[in-house]
Amino acid sequence: MKILSRKERDKQIRRTDILKAAEHIFALRGYHKATIRDIAKEAQYASGTVYLYFKDKDALYFALLEEKMKDLLSIAKEKASQVKDARKKLEIHVKEALVFFENNQDFFRIFISDENELFAEKNLLKSNTALEMHLYTTSLLKEAQKQGVVSADFETERLADVFSAIVKTIIMKWLQEKDSNRGSLVNLSGLILRLFLNGAAKS
């Protein structure tokens, strides 16, 4: 039925509106200080309405995180799959992450905070998508080790952690710079790769 389908579509749109509002408020205030009332207000709904679309605050938060991470992951995988060279794959991976986060700065803030919550509390329930992202990064690096681009001396797991940490750090600091003095985030992909692959020492 056309009608029912449109109803479904409208429902999705409203759900997305709430997610957008949540993204903004969570990024602005952090999970704990963000209130359902704030989010509802931003989405131009009453607070009760939020509960028609999400079971509770947690479900809203996780839906937001999961869906955005899925977006990033699928984009990155798709683009990187178009080349064979491991170094090039890494480069594309970094660039896609930088582009994505430059376009989703609110989400980046939530993404970063979330990791620490998970670390601080012994909440072991890392989201599936987060795990997938980690696995994917690890697989890229393993391939790079096979191809001789990256030294096989290091444990791939640790490399993945450090690699991600460098990317995140560069993004964080870029976000903290005054808008006026900063160019596009993608310009920093070279810096990231050079630091990760060749280090800081004088060559």
Q: Which stretch binds DNA (CB under 7 A): 44-52, 128-136, 171-179, 184-192?
A: 44-52
- Cα 122-70-58 angle, rounded to 5 deg: 45
Q: Does 45 bind DNA (CB under 7 A)?
A: yes
Q: Does 47 bind DNA (CB under 7 A)?
A: yes
Task: From residue 100, give the alpha-carbon distance in Å to each of 51, 104, 184.
Answer: 29, 6, 12
C-alpha of 158 from chain center: 19
Q: Find the binding residues for its own copies in span 149-188 (CB under 8 A).
A: 149-152, 154, 157-159, 161-166, 168-170, 172-173, 176
Q: Does 7 bind its own copies (CB under 8 A)?
A: no
Q: Does 65 bind its own copies (CB under 8 A)?
A: no
| Cα(99)–Cα(105) distance, integer angstroms | 10
Contact between 129 and 69 under an 8 Å Cβ cutoff? The reply is yes
Question: Which tokens belong to 70?
Answer: 């899925």
Q: Which stretch binds DNA (CB under 7 A): 31-39, 115-123, 146-154, 163-171?
A: 31-39
Q: Closest CB to its own copies among 49 and 164?
A: 164
- Minimum distance between the CB of residue 187 and its own copies, rounded to whole angstroms? 13
Q: Which residues are within 8 A (CB) of 195 and not within 5 positions of it... i.e. 6 or more apart?
A: 166
- Side-chain-facing half-sphere of 140: CA atoms under 13 Å: 28
Q: Does 112 bind its own copies (CB under 8 A)?
A: yes
Residue type, 95: K
Q: At what angle do helices 57-80 and 105-120 cross, to 10 degrees?
A: 110
- Indicate which of DNA, its own copies, none lies near residue 170 (CB less than 5 to 8 Å, by partner kind): its own copies
- Indicate which of DNA, its own copies, none lies near residue 62 (CB less than 5 to 8 Å, by partner kind): none
- Minimum distance between the CB of residue 200 and DNA, rounded to whole angstroms? 42
Q: Closest CB to DNA among 120 and 200?
A: 120
Q: Which residues bind DNA (CB under 7 A)?
A: 1, 3-4, 6-7, 11, 14, 33-37, 44-49, 51-52, 56-58
